[in-house]
Amino acid sequence: MTPADTQAAAPPATARPTVPPFAVIPGTQVQDALRGREKHVVEVVEDAYRLHGAGDTVNPPSSFLRFPDRASSRMIALAASVGGPDRVDGLKWISSFPRNVAADIPRASAVLILNDPATGYPFACLESSIISASRTAASAAAAADRLSRDRPRPLRVGFVGTGLIARYIHTFLEGTGWSFDDIGVHDVSAGSAAGFRTYLEQSGTAARITVHHSAEDLIRLSDLVVFATVAGEPHITDPSWFGHNPVVLHVSLRDLAPEVLLASTNIVDDVDHCLRAQTSPHLTEQLTGNRDFVHGTLDDVMAGRVSVPRGRPVVFSPFGLGVLDLAVGKYVYDEVARSGELKIVEDFFHELRRYG
């Protein structure tokens, strides 16, 4: 029996399952549970990567809901199950509506449902845009650390795309001990770049902040490059921009042309998940007809199965696994439960007898 089979097995016959109480955890509680705990959240995410690498998770492909009259918008369902000592099943339901930004509201909104592995009953609904941003930022911070251990630690970071995810990634980098001499900023929206610069200034960073008018200038001057855009297709095509061999956190997944990936060491979170849905790695697979350009997963690097050479750029392309949302969401639930502040919805499940 595989680890995944074990964690999905039915409870012992002597156990009498009960319906768990149902809680709603709003964004204020989610943020309180995560704020200032960046190092611990990175550990939660790394533990989830280890469980996933060991086969002790279930993470089917994401399901995309698209709209013929709203081509830029989408909704995504990420079902998953996490094994290990703190088992949980569940679903993240997240929407991405880029036009929201023009109305000065966030692009993404999300909820996370946690299910009891013994009964299948949902036991919590959490506001999840904060969880999603936090697990993405924690994954990026973990990759920045692991992929730079065999090279000089980056002192110049550049952000291409300056929305919520970029802000969270900066917060998690600083919260896990990173400090920079220079921070570069580039966005196709001058207003977004200016807003991100204001955030950086108010964050108390001692770094010199520069707004770049071109992505090329930013990339060439950065040791650590963060792509956090809403690009639908590659717009960075010249491998020579990366000739100084930076660490690249390709969080938005569709910025880099295959030529850039083929000139780099490529690390992903999950090979099968990342090479789909017209991501840059997927386009590279279609171009080459193989996956030889993928050197391994972040779990492979963490476990020492894959080493990262210093003489090439290294690109981390994370598809974003539902198991990370579940792991961070369960951490939030446990923190709120420990505080005694769970908001239980009484009698949420009403028909609990088969025959009334």
pLDDT tens digit sequence for 96-135: 998 898 898 988 899 999 999 999 999 999 999 999 999 9
Outline where DSSP puts E strands in the chain: 23-25, 57-58, 63-67, 70-82, 88-96, 108-115, 122-127, 156-160, 182-186, 208-211, 224-227, 247-250, 265-268, 294-297, 314-317, 343-344
153-204 pLDDT tens trace: 999 999 999 999 999 999 999 999 999 999 999 999 999 999 999 999 999 9
Every domain range in the chain assigned CATH 3.30.1780.10: 5-9+21-131+322-344
pLDDT value at residue 4:
39
Predicted pLDDT at 15: 66
Q: What pLDDT sits at residue 17?
A: 86
For 142-317, which CATH class?
alpha beta
Instruction: Please count the CA atoms within 13 angstroms of the CA of 153 that sit on its side-chain side.
Output: 9
Instruction: Note the pLDDT tens digit of each residue in 286-345.
Output: 999 999 999 999 999 999 999 999 999 999 999 999 999 999 999 999 999 999 999 999
Which residue intervals of the chain bear CATH 3.40.50.720?
Answer: 142-317
Look at residue 11 in the predicted model and tell me its pLDDT.
44
pTM to 2 decimal places: 0.91
Q: In this predicted structure, what is the pLDDT of residue 12?
A: 47
Instruction: Provide the b/e sequence for 229-261 (b: ≥16 CB within 10 Å).
Output: bbbeebebeebebbeebbbbbbbbbbbbbbebb
Per-residue pLDDT, 156: 98
- Its CATH architecture, for the domain 5-9+21-131+322-344, is 2-Layer Sandwich (3.30)
User: By percentage, how much of the chain surpasses pLDDT 70?
Assistant: 96
